[in-house]
Amino acid sequence: MKAFIVHESRIFTLNSIPIKLGRNLDNHLVLSNKAVSRYHAEIYLENETFYLKDLESTSGTSVNGTEINSPFALSSGDKISLADVQLTFFTDLDHLDSTTKQRTSNLDDFTG
């Protein structure tokens, strides 16, 4: 099952699950914003559903404007906020414009 994160007009393919997001360089998706915790959140797959879990971050995690305190079942198009960093979760890229689609990166190859 494929999933993608869009951040600043770049698409990251979530190849290996779980995916850790945060400021530390050993995260799968490194976010250099100082408001983001070193280990901020995680996306994992359980029973064919992707979940977002806050890893006790300092500034919180929200989905579609609602702060989450327990694992949250993600749907394609959900807007994720890690502190003031905005991401969008997708399972289907058909509706994205071609310019954004050309900026696809595999998280396995992403170094920050």
Greater pLDDT, 111 or 77: 77
**Mean per-residue pLDDT of the chain:** 87
pLDDT in tens, 45-94: 999 999 999 999 999 999 999 999 999 999 999 999 999 999 999 998 76
Cis peptide before 71 (omega within 30 of 0): no
Note the pTM of the prediction, 2 decimals: 0.84
pLDDT higher than threshold 90 for residue 33 = yes
Closest CA to 57 of 34, 88, 86: 34
List of domains in the chain: 4-109 (2.60.200.20)
DSSP string, 56-99: S-SS-EEETTEE-SS-EE--TT-EEEETTEEEEEES--TTS-HH
**Lowest mean pLDDT, pick from 10-14, 46-50, 100-104:** 100-104
Closest CA to 68 of 85, 54, 78, 47: 54
pLDDT at 110: 41
